Amino acid sequence: MSTDRRVDLSNCLENVLVLIEPTSADTTFPEFQYSPDNVQGPGCTTDPSEVTLPGCSCRSRSCRTPTCPCPRARGPAYDGAGALLNLGPTDSGYCSPVFECNALCACSEACSNRVVQGGLRLRLEVYATGNKGWGVRALEAVPRGTFVCEYAGEVIGLEEARRRQLAQRVGENNYIIAVREHAGAGPVAETFVDPAAVGNVGRFLNHSCQPNLVMQPVRVHSAVPRLALFAGRSVDSREELTFDYTGGYRNRLPAELLSTQRDADARTGRTDGLQRKECHCGANNCARFLPLDLSIINRE
């Protein structure tokens, strides 16, 4: 008879089980609705589940650039094994979106430009870290560039993001991620995702000042991007998976807001009257406090 008391966090909504490590009875697990995909929230004008992007006419097993319009003019996003090719910064400092083939494309489901839409493939486990609350680790080694999981949740507008951030009480976790993209000469696009009430395993990922994951917006069927997390380096089995809550160069804040954060009281961690939480990532370059994106609150 099996004694494994781990349960599937996703309730069979993912391709593989998302396990929860058994803990003591006094450990409280947060209540939320599991969703492997983004859902439309207040202030989001586009349903993330709606197919709004055009498809390609490549009638081949796998699309090839530069003839396929889906990767645009940037060349292939993935190698033959599905690993993200560009893990480095862009010239603008903002991230540049990846476009995968979608439901309207004529290519096969085996196309090399279909990675994130394939869903979770790695065996992940949510576990109690001790000093950082809950965390996530992979139960297998993860090669560099491998898609790990999405940071999925409610896609909300700026005003709703501001309202939720200001309404947070002391001790509550801030799950809202603001991702900024810049492609060509157009304006910087922003996407706000909050997995507090509706989200996936990504909501349990902890911040690190020296992370092993990088966040990359990926558009598949909808103009609303999926916030995909890829291994920025090779990750050992059972090593904690982390990402930079600011996204690093992939989610750059305006210079004036960065300087405001640097001016936070080093002893109390207060910034513009808001209490910042201590960072326990243990990195040599640890900033002592978790990042706080003031652009959501201070936007004119």
Query: 295 or 35: which carries more pLDDT confidence?
Result: 35
What confidence tier does 252 reach under pLDDT thresholds 50, 70, 90? very low
Q: Tens digit of pLDDT for each residue in 265-276?
A: 544 445 554 567
pLDDT score for 60: 83
pLDDT score for 28: 78
Write the DSSP string, the chain. ------EETTTT-SSS-EEE----TTPPPPP-EE-SS-EE-TT--S-TTS--S------SSS--TTT-STTTTS--SB-TTS-BS--SPPTTSSB--EE---TT-SS-TT-TT-SGGG---S-EEEEE-SSSSEEEEESS-B-TT-EEEE--EEEE-HHHHHHHHHHPPTT-----EEEEE--TTSPPEEEEEEEEEEE-GGGGPEE-SS-SEEEEEEESSSSSPEEEEEESS-B-TTPBPEE-TT-GGGGPPPHHHHHHHHTS-TTT-EETTEEPPBP----TT--SB----THHHH--
Report, as an integer, the average pLDDT of 77-84: 93
Query: 61 or 1: which carries more pLDDT confidence?
Result: 61
pLDDT at 45 over 90: yes
Report, as an integer, the average pLDDT of 104-127: 95
pLDDT score for 116: 97
Q: What is the pTM of this model?
A: 0.88
Q: Cα(263)–Cα(113) distance, rounded to whole angstroms?
A: 43
Q: Which of 13-17, 244-248, 254-258 has the highest mean pLDDT?
A: 13-17
